Chains A and B, each alone.
Chain A
Amino acid sequence: MNLLRYYLRKVFTVLRNEVLVLPSRIVVLLFFLSMLLIPLVVDDPYFIRILVLTSIFAIFAASWDLLSGFTGQINFGHALFFGVGAYGSAIMNQHGLPHWATIPLGALVAVAAGLVVGVPCLRLRGTYLALTTLAFPIILLGIVFAFPGLTGGELGISGLTRLSTSRTVTYYIVVVIMLLSCAAMWKITDSKIGIIFHAIREDELAVKAAGINTTLYKLLAFCLSGFFAGIAGGLYAHFMRIAGPSTLEVQMSFQVVIYSVFGGIATIWGPVGAVFILVPLMEFFRLWPEFRTLMFAFVVILILLYMPGGLLPWIRNKVEEECPRCKIRNLVTRRVCRVCAADMR
């Protein structure tokens, strides 16, 4: 009982001193809570469906950020991992495996794909890497079309088992996986590994000189990113109940890059936030079907022209600022730093 009280008090202290002092943290907290509570309030099948798809793309976008935002290995073929995850779980599901096994196994196949792509790409850097990775999903797409017996060709593999027969349970499965994997990615990038990823992007030579095996870390980034994108692909295949060639298209790879840069790269929360802004916005534009994609493109262009660093970091920098002395973030209205009491003006 005492232990419980101790933990409760600790949670309360952290909440008051660390979370509620910064608007960005409050937003993240509200996001987690509202994602978990929405189905209790809303029971509109269309709305729930949009949220599920948005969550799946949020995992996908965050996994791109983990690889390309953090290590700077710009990947233009991220749809490869998504497609491999989707097709992997679909083929296994066709042979009788249940979905709780096919999604992780599909993700592992995507990890293998990450290795297959990562090893040759280790020697390439910068723009070469970006343009080469674009090729991989197109190669796989050609193979998919050439062997319709295994992959269903242009129609894809359909009739997969549902995640669950109940809408609410499906929602919770996807959303909990999304929250867990995004939190995991955030934690990874916040750890020592994340710092090394940052350093590889900024100056690979210096990281090598510091005695760190950059090859290993770059492969690790490819594998981790492939794993999470594979989970997204598997979830997508089972939610849509079809794994088709559209999961491998160039548009898919570009879309995830758009989400991430729109939301701000090297943050994890940026791409997730961007997906939760842009995907529902796309649905809103469904009111004018023929102008939908055009409006989307214009929104992206306008945001980039005025906030080239991404939308969410821009907003964050407007409401919070760093203490000049201890580099701790503070609300912009504060006159003294909340930790070291230095003058903020």
Chain B
Amino acid sequence: MIFDIVITSLIKGSTYAMLAIGFSLIFGVARIVNIAHTAFYMVAAYCIFYTTTQLGFNPILAIFVAVILVSLLGLITFKLLIAPIREHEAAVLIATIALAIALQEVMMILFTGDYRSVPPLVPGFATIMGVKVFYQQLLTFVSVLVVLGLMYLFLQYTRLGLAIRATAQDREVANLMGMNESQVAMLAMGISVGLAGVTGAVLAPLSIVEPHMWNHPLAMMLAVVVLGGLGSIKGSLYAAFILGTAEALVVFMIPAGAYLKGAVALSIMVFVLLVRPAGLFGVQFEEER
């Protein structure tokens, strides 16, 4: 039982962490609230489904194809959809909601609304302390850790990472220092959507693939981001595991917990916000006037 909870919370937590970090990245750099973030995750899951089961690709190759395709899709949407209306914050919000709905409908038309499943990358399971742990679950957890580690190295030690951090701190000054702000934003968007794609790719075998699969992760991802403090990547990481654990605890400990899992996790977020309005690791920005 306890081990079950630990495994579930680690998987949930790492998924939410990946999604939330991608979301935080683009919010921090370009102040874009990308509601369609988890819709890209859904698209990636469908890419994996299509390439492995229909086209018979090697799963590793399928993951690469999916991530690249989804990142390209992200770049295209940024260029065509978000860049022209970036000054209007409300318009960007709606545009990304509409985009998410459009992606959902396209998937619905292409693949129908049936529940699909994807075969695991590595079949089989190990029994640890009497609990079945699928290798796919371990793989998901490890790959999340690897991707997050790479993200950290990228942000800390490359020129582009430096530019992204600088733009996140102060857009205007970064622009004055010769960084092309809109280009940095576009690349950040590509990376952020790519992260969503990776999440979808590694998680697809563990969940049911269907066009509405982005709804629940969206709410949880937003909760994680708010709880951790908007734009704070460290905060997102901690908050993701807090909420993932909360969800797992509720599911395993309370009868009818499957219904209440979202409610409890979101209530935790609301209560933390009552104490710390800027989230766990957020900085209270000076009010922009």
Question: Interface of A with B (CB < 8 Å)?
Answer: 74, 120, 123-125, 127-128, 130-132, 134-136, 138-143, 145-146, 203-205, 250, 254, 257-258, 261-262, 265, 290-291, 293-294, 296-298, 300-301, 304-305, 308-309
Contacts and interface: CB of A to CB of B under 8 A. Distances in A.
Contacts of A258: 94, 97-98
B274 A120 contact: yes
Interface stretch (B105-113, B127-135, B164-172): B105-113
Interface stretch (B42-50, B61-69, B142-150, B261-269): B261-269
Contacts of B273: 120, 123-124, 128, 132
Contacts of A123: 273-274, 277
Nearest to B80: A305
B88 A308 contact: yes
A86 B277 CA distance: 31
15 contacts: A130-B33, A131-B226, A135-B222, A138-B263, A138-B266, A146-B263, A203-B289, A205-B289, A250-B219, A258-B94, A261-B94, A291-B109, A297-B99, A304-B85, A308-B85
A120 B270 contact: yes
B97 A254 contact: yes
Contact of A265 (B81, B90, B102, B269): B90
A134 B108 CA distance: 25
Nearest to B250: A142
Contacts of B27: 127
Contacts of A139: 262-263, 266-267, 270
A142 B94 contact: no
B187 interface: no
A132 to B, nearest CB: 6
A262 B94 contact: yes
B95 interface: yes
A300 B98 contact: yes
Contacts of B94: 257-258, 261-262, 300, 304
Interface in B199-255: 215, 218-219, 222-223, 225-226, 230
A261 B93 contact: yes
B56 interface: no
B222 A134 contact: yes
A176 B85 CA distance: 37
A142 B218 contact: no
Chain A binding surface, main DSSP class: helix
A204 B33 CA distance: 22
A128 B278 contact: yes
B114 interface: no
Given A257-B94, A304-B94, A146 B262 contact: no
Contacts of A145: 256, 259-260
A132 B226 contact: yes
Contact of A128 (B81, B84, B91, B226): B226
B277 A128 contact: yes
B110 to A, nearest CB: 11
Given A140-B263, A261-B94, 9 more contacts: A127-B33, A142-B264, A145-B259, A146-B256, A254-B35, A254-B97, A258-B94, A305-B85, A305-B95
Nearest to B267: A139
A123 B84 CA distance: 32
Given A131-B226, A135-B223, A250-B218, A297 B260 contact: no
A127 B105 contact: no
> Most chain-B Cβ atoms within 10 A of its Cβ — which of A139, A254, A262, A298?
A139
B235 to A, nearest CB: 12
Given A142-B263, A257-B93, A305-B81, A294 B109 contact: yes
Contacts of B222: 131, 134-135
B174 interface: no
Nearest to B263: A142
Contacts of B266: 135-136, 138-139
A132 B271 CA distance: 11
Contacts of A304: 85, 91, 94-95, 98
B279 interface: yes
> Most chain-A Cβ atoms within 10 A of its Cβ — which of B81, B97, B108, B279?
B97
Contacts of A130: 33, 93
A138 B222 CA distance: 12
A146 B259 contact: yes
